[in-house]
Amino acid sequence: MLRWTAWAAAYVLGLAALVLAGAWVWWQQEPEARGTETNALWARHQWVGESHTEAEYRELGALLKQHRMTDVFFHAGPFEADGTVPPAKYRYARQLIEAMREYAPGVRLQAYLGQIRVVDGDGVIDLDDPAVRERVLKTDAAFLDLGFDGIHYDFEPIYPDDEAFMTLMERTRELTRSRGALLSVALEQLTLLDGAQPVYKALLPRGGRYHQPPRPTKEFLRDVAGLADQVAIMTYDVTLPTESLTGWHFAWHTRTTLELIGDRTTVFVGVPTYRPLLEWAEELPVALRGVRRGIDGLERPPKRPYGVGVYAAWTTRPDEWARYRADWLPGTAGG
The domain that contains 60 carries what CATH number? Answer: 3.20.20.80
- What is the four-CA torsion angle of 329, 53, 71, 284, rounded to 10 degrees? 40
pLDDT at 239: 83
Backbone angles phi, psi at 281, to 5 degrees: -135, 5
The H-or-E segment that residue 311 falls in is strand 306-311
**pLDDT by residue (tens digit) across 33-88?**
999 999 999 999 999 999 999 999 999 999 999 999 999 999 999 999 999 999 99
Alpha-carbon span 225 to 177, nearest angstrom: 15
Residue 65 CA to its chain's centroid (Å): 21
Look at residue 20 and tell me if it is in a domain.
Answer: no
Look at residue 138 and tell me if it is in a domain.
Answer: yes
- Residue 245, SS3? helix
Predicted TM-score (pTM) of the model is: 0.91
Express the helix, strand and coil content of the chain in percent, nearest 5 each: 45, 15, 40
Look at residue 29 and tell me if it is in a domain.
Answer: no
- Residue 131, SS3? helix
- Residue 276, SS3? coil
- What is the four-CA torsion angle of 92, 98, 104, 108, rounded to 10 degrees? 80
Alpha-carbon span 30 to 34, nearest angstrom: 11
Look at residue 333 and tell me if it is in a domain.
Answer: no
Look at residue 7 and tell me if it is in a domain.
Answer: no
pLDDT at 210: 40
- Residue 158, SS3? coil
Q: What domain count does the chain have?
A: 1
Alpha-carbon span 61 to 106, nearest angstrom: 11
**Which residues have a Cβ under 8 Å from the Cβ of 120 and sit 6 or more positions away?**
205, 206, 207
Look at residue 72 and tell me if it is in a domain.
Answer: yes
**Which residues have a Cβ under 8 Å from the Cβ of 141 and sit 6 or more positions away?**
175
pLDDT at 32: 96
Domain, as residue range, for 43? 35-327
Q: Report residues of the chain scoring pLDDT below 70.
A: 1-22, 193-212, 277-279, 333-335
**pLDDT by residue (tens digit) across 274-317?**
987 666 789 999 999 999 999 999 999 999 999 999 999 999 99
- On the question of a cis peptide bond just before residue 157, with omega within 30 degrees of 0, the verdict is yes
What is the Rg, in whole angstroms, of the alpha carbon atoms belonging to the chain?
A: 21
- What is the four-CA torsion angle of 66, 67, 72, 78, rounded to 10 degrees? -110
238: alpha, beta or left? (left if phi > 0; alpha if psi -120 to 50): alpha
Look at residue 150 and tell me if it is in a domain.
Answer: yes
- What is the amino acid identity at position 224? V
258, 294 contact by CB (below 8 A): yes
Look at residue 215 and tell me if it is in a domain.
Answer: yes
